[in-house]
């Protein structure tokens, strides 16, 4: 199996634009240090995703990708509300390693920003340059994301971390994710779930996550689920290998072909990179 880790991060604290890390407390404070490709624990190719809302972050990741052949693609950041966004997208899309753009929706206070903030010409530019839209959302965004998807029918969309389901919002999460899964061009990442578990759930993560993964497989099928480690964020709850082993167990009922799709083939197809 040729694995592609479709969601990992690298950062260098001296760059100075990781506001969420500067404010991190508790176990997340352990992430307040450099994480660079040399320390990545996986042995496959990667899609590297932005962790700061700046163009400098996008350029930083593209520079890393130019130096490390394991990086198959970059999901960067562009201010989609900026009048200069189409030019910023067009310029960076000249680099074939740029495969998508991710606004940090979970950090934007206005839940409906996705319907009011992005400029139509910026979204058009994403499509013109073959880029995807990466949705960093939580349950509160799901109805809005569905309206956004309906209004941008040609834009490939992938949902990060399965929208981070929480025990108290499962009914709303279920309704929202089922509605989104009905759109055949919308994919979902099997990532970031370990770190959302409560301390009680961490005592038996397989038991906690099995029903979530079963629903995702039912709704999206094994051809639109995409595995990602969310390294290094995953390390606040588990090691890279622990999440990989747990994923193997959670996907144990799939055929070898379907497992290979979730663990790499789907990412290659969605992002348009070599398998």
The per-residue pLDDT for range 61-116, each reduced to its tens digit, is 999 999 999 999 999 999 999 999 999 999 999 999 999 999 999 999 999 999 99
SS3 182: coil
3-state DSSP assignment of residue 2: coil
Whether the pLDDT of residue 222 is over 70: the answer is: yes
Spatial distance between the Cα atoms of 5 and 46, rounded to a whole number of angstroms? 5
Predicted pLDDT of residue 1: 58
- Residue among 229, 212, 143 at smallest CA distance from 180: 143
Q: What percent of the chain has pLDDT over 90?
A: 93
Q: What is the pLDDT of residues 149-202, one digit of tens each?
A: 999 999 999 999 999 998 878 899 999 999 999 988 999 999 999 999 999 999
- In this structure, the number of other CB atoms found within 10 A of the CB of residue 68 comes to 16
- In this structure, whether the domain defined by 4-271 belongs to CATH 3.40.50.2300 is answered with no
With DSSP H G I counted as helix, E B as strand and the rest as coil, what are the percentages for the chain, rounded to 5?
A: 50, 15, 35
Q: Would you state the pLDDT for residue 168? A: 74
Beta strands in the chain (DSSP E): 4-8, 45-49, 71-76, 98-101, 132-135, 157-159, 186-190, 225-227
φ, ψ at 52 (rounded to 5°): -145, 140
Peptide bond into 232 cis (omega under 30): yes
Mean pLDDT of 136-146: 97
b/e code 6-42 from CB counts within 10 Å (16+ = b): bbbbbbeeeeebbeebeeeeeeeeebeeebeeeebeb
pLDDT at residue 255 is higher than 70 = yes
pTM for this model (two decimals): 0.96
CA-derived radius of gyration, the chain: 17
Candidates 31, 274, 275, 273; CA nearest to 131 is: 273
Which band of pLDDT confidence, cut at 50, 70 and 90, is reported for residue 23? confident
DSSP label of 261 = I
Q: How far is CA 77 from CA 49, 88, 213, in A?
A: 9, 10, 28
Distance CA 137, CA 228 (A): 16
The pLDDT value given to residue 173: 96
User: For residue 39, is pLDDT > 70?
Assistant: yes
pLDDT above 90: residue 227 = yes
């Amino acid at each position: 199996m040729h694995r592609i880790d479709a969601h990992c991060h690298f950062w260098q604290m001296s760059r100075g634009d990781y506001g969420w890390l500067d404010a991190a407390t508790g176990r997340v404070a352990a992430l307040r240090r450099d994480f660079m490709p040399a320390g990545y624990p996986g042995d496959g190719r990667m899609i590297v995703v932005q962790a700061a809302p700046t163009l400098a972050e996008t350029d930083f990741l593209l520079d890393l990708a130019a130096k490390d052949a394991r990086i198959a693609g970059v999901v960067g950041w562009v201010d989609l509300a900026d009048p200069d966004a189409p030019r910023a997208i067009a310029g960076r899309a000249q680099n074939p390693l740029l495969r998508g753009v991710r606004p940090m929706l979970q950090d934007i206070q206005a839940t409906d920003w996705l319907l009011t903030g992005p400029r139509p010409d910026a979204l058009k530019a994403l499509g013109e340059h073959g880029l995807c839209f990466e949705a960093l959302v939580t349950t509160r965004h799901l109805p809005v994301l569905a309206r956004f998807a309906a209004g941008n029918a040609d834009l490939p969309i992938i949902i990060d971390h399965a929208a981070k389901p929480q025990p108290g919002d499962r009914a709303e999460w279920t309704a929202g994710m089922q509605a989104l899964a009905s759109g055949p061009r919308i994919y979902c990442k099997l990532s970031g779930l370990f770190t959302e578990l409560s301390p009680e759930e961490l005592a038996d993560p397989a038991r906690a996550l099995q029903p979530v993964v079963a629903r995702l497989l039912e709704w999206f099928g094994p051809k639109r689920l995409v595995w990602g480690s969310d390294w290094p964020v995953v390390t606040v709850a588990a090691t890279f290998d622990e999440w990989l082993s747990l994923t193997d167990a959670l996907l144990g009922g799939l055929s070898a072909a379907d497992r290979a799709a979730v663990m790499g083939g789907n990412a290659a197809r969605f992002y348009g990179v070599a398998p």
